[in-house]
């Protein structure tokens, strides 16, 4: 029997027309004047985009924009992969996005030598398209799927953007960008990771609930931390800031509010504060507090303020 004919490859202009509007510029504000980061993100589901976590690290607010179409949406939650080495974050917005989500290609369809196209916002120049080849598939320690090495040109701002095959399917998210010493050498995370993300996050949530309960947090009927009634979650002014710089505490708490669950905001008796967002880091912090004989207290966990007031 004759083999089924291969799908026709899209021309670069056809490919960009198909998926270009599903790639957005990311603007991450870090709270202080002159701070912030630019990157890119790809729409992978209704009101859902994927980016590289380092683009939105320490952000107090995040916005995705399409300047050409004068479209802009605030990100309401950032959900990261439980394994921070994956550097994979999901961005959630409250409004429907105008372009459709992209289709994700299985990693086993990606071959060395095939032509690929990178779309992102290098140097803030949104909607930039470059092409190249898959140069190599590099093993990642502890992972079953490889990094994708490509020759497509990238630059700062490309991180989190999309790498597409000649059918317009997402095969990777731009992770490492080229510099003067490594022109034509870029890397992308396998897009198949985005398919695995929901199940990985759900498994982490189960372990998180067990961990916070072990440290004395009261859980409500739904299994989440029960609110103490001390303050509303979004009221930044109620976070205790005694002997602490107010601006620093406020910015840190706004970073906490932007993160999706699991998340915990803690205050210590030696005048430190900050967010922990996985059960392993929480265990490490609590063990360190015990070793140094200081008090580490939860102010808010997930969607509830659990602070009981000053001891």
Please state, rounded to an integer, the average pLDDT across all residues of the chain.
90
Residue-wise pLDDT tens digits, 259-277: 988 999 999 988 889 999 9
Query: Do 111 and 88 have their domain in common?
Result: no
* Residue whose C-alpha is closest to residue 73's, from 105, 96, 103: 96
Q: Would you say residue 255 has pLDDT above 60? A: yes
Alpha helical stretches, state H, the chain:
12-19, 53-56, 192-214, 246-258, 279-292
Is residue 25 domain-shared with residue 72, that is, in the same domain?
yes
What residues make up the domain containing 221? Answer: 215-305
Is pLDDT at 8 greater than 90 in this prediction?
A: no
Give Cα separations from 42 to 51, 91, 101, 119 (angstroms).
7, 10, 8, 9
Residue 8 domain-assigned?
no
Are residue 61 and residue 136 in the same domain, yes or no? Answer: no
172 and 253 together in one domain: no
- Segment 37-53 mean pLDDT: 94
CA distance 103 to 48: 13
Task: Tell me the pLDDT tens digit for each residue of 103-143.
Answer: 999 999 999 999 999 999 999 899 999 999 999 999 999 99
Note whether 89 and 117 are same-domain residues: no
Assess if residue 176 is contained within a domain. Answer: yes
- The least confident of 13-27, 133-147, 241-255 is 241-255
116 plus 72 within the same structural domain: no
pLDDT band (50, 70, 90) for residue 33: low
How many whole angstroms separate alpha carbon 99 and alpha carbon 129?
17
On the question of pLDDT at 171 being above 90, the answer is: yes
pLDDT at 162: 96
Rg value, the chain, Cα: 21
272-301 average pLDDT score? 94
Closest to 65 measured CA to CA, from 86, 87, 36, 88: 36
| % of residues, the chain, pLDDT over 90 | 77
> What pLDDT score was predicted for residue 67?
77
Cα angle for residues 119, 25, 60 (degrees, 5° grid): 145
- 118: part of which helix (H) or strand (E)? strand 115-120
CA dist 120 and 116 (Å) reads 13
Residue with tokens 């059960």: 279
- Residue 311 located in a structural domain: no
The per-residue pLDDT for 244 is 61
**Is residue 264 within 8 Å of 253, Cβ to Cβ?**
no
Asked whether residue 6 carries a pLDDT value surpassing 70, the answer given is: no
pLDDT in the model for residue 84: 84
Question: How far apart are alpha carbons 309 and 311 in whole angstroms?
Answer: 6
pLDDT above 50 for 145: yes
Residue 67, both tokens: 């300047």
- The CATH number given to whatever domain includes residue 120 is 2.40.10.10
pLDDT score for 176: 67
């Amino acid at each position: 029997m004759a083999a089924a004919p291969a799908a026709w490859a899209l021309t670069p202009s056809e490919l960009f027309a198909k998926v270009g509007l599903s790639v957005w510029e990311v603007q991450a504000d870090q709270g202080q004047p002159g701070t912030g980061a630019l990157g890119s993100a790809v729409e992978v589901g209704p009101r859902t985009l994927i980016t590289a976590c380092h683009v939105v690290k320490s952000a107090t607010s995040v916005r995705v924009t399409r300047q050409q179409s004068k479209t802009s949406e605030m990100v309401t939650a950032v959900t990261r992969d439980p394994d921070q080495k994956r550097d994979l974050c999901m961005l959630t917005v409250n409004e429907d996005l105008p372009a459709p989500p992209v289709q994700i290609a299985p990693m086993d369809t990606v071959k060395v030598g095939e032509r690929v196209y990178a779309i992102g916002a290098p140097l803030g120049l949104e909607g930039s398209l470059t092409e190249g080849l898959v140069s190599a598939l590099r093993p990642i320690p502890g992972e079953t799927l490889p990094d994708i090495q490509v020759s497509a040109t990238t630059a700062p701002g490309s991180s989190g953007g999309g790498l597409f095959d000649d059918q317009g399917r997402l095969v990777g998210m731009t992770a490492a960008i080229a510099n003067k010493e490594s022109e034509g050498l870029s890397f992308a995370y396998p897009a198949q990771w985005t398919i695995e993300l929901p199940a990985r996050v759900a498994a982490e949530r189960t372990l998180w609930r067990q961990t916070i309960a072990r440290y004395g947090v009261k859980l409500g009927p739904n299994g989440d931390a029960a609110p103490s009634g001390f303050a509303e979650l979004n009221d930044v002014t109620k976070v205790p800031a005694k002997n602490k710089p107010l601006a620093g505490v406020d910015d840190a708490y706004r970073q906490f509010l932007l993160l999706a669950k699991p998340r915990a905001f803690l205050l210590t008796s030696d005048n430190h504060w900050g967010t922990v967002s996985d059960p392993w880091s929480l265990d490490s912090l609590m063990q360190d507090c015990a070793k140094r004989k200081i008090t580490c207290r939860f102010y808010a966990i997930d969607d509830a303020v659990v602070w009981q007031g000053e001891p």
